[in-house]
């Protein structure tokens, strides 16, 4: 049986690209999505066109019960897991960052959502997936971070806190599960433009693109060191 990867947030953007790439290098893929059903179905079709197997699982990771149910469904339908990529993330839209996401203006609702999706869900996905990953000969988790960890962005307060907390989850998890499976972090800089960015905002930034991310994912799956953080800037 092929190795199996679970990619959260695989219905769009970098999560979708990683899911398709993992199929290219030999994984069957569990395609998780929350609301991006059309994109997830597109991901599934691309994977199946390569002759790999794809499984769609919908789950709202903002809900406390979601990680346990997601891993339970995966275990029942697939029966194994070799790689977990925690890619799903909330992020404030550009037109709302300056007005609502500074320290003094951050809302309780969006704070809770950022912590729930970006930190709590990956923590419990690791917890509930650990027994499956321990059975793999090459068990691995890749937690996707972004430049908020590097830059401590004050106009994205909740997001910045949640991603820095995910870095701590990665570090603690690597120590807790050392010798059983690996946990790595992949910190992404300015990879691709946001969905609502203006042409002027896009043009003002040098974008790295997706290809370097996929190349680094390939290197990590082959030889990533437990507890390491890898950077794409």
SS3 state at 133: helix
Distances (CA, A) of 79 to 141, 157, 192: 17, 39, 34
Residue 96 pLDDT more than 60?
A: no
Distance CA 68, CA 207 (A): 36
Q: Answer whether CATH 3.40.50.720 is correct for domain 4-232.
A: yes
Q: Which residue has the higher pLDDT, 209 or 176?
A: 176
Give residue 206's pLDDT.
74
**Model pLDDT for residues 3-61, shown as the tens digit of each residue:** 999 999 999 999 999 999 999 999 999 999 999 999 999 999 999 999 999 999 999 99
Average pLDDT of the chain, as a whole number = 92
Q: What is the reported pTM?
A: 0.94
Residue 180 pLDDT more than 50?
A: yes
Could you tell me the pLDDT band of residue 113, with boundaries at 50, 70 and 90? very high
């Amino acid at each position: 049986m092929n190795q199996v990867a679970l990619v959260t947030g695989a219905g769009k953007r970098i999560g979708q690209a990683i899911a398709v790439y993992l199929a290219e290098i030999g994984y069957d893929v569990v395609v998780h999505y929350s609301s991006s059903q059309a994109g997830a179905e597109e991901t599934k079709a691309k994977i199946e066109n390569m002759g790999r197997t794809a499984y769609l699982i919908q789950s709202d990771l903002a809900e406390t019960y979601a990680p346990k149910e997601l891993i339970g469904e995966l275990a029942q339908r697939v029966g194994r897991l070799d790689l977990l990529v925690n890619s799903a993330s909330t992020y404030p839209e550009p037109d709302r960052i300056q007005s609502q996401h500074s320290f003094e203006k951050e809302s309780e609702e969006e704070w809770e959502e950022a912590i729930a999706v970006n930190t709590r869900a990956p923590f419990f996905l690791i917890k509930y997936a650990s027994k499956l990953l321990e059975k793999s000969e090459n068990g691995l988790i890749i937690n996707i971070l972004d430049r908020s960890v590097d830059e401590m962005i004050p106009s994205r307060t909740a997001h910045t806190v949640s991603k820095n907390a995910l870095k701590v989850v990665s570090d603690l998890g690597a120590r807790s599960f050392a010798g059983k499976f690996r946990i790595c972090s992949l910190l992404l800089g300015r990879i691709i433009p946001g969905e609502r960015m203006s042409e002027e905002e896009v043009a003002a930034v040098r974008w790295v693109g997706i290809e370097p991310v996929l190349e680094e994912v390939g290197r990590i799956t082959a030889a990533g060191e437990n507890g390491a953080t890898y950077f794409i800037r």
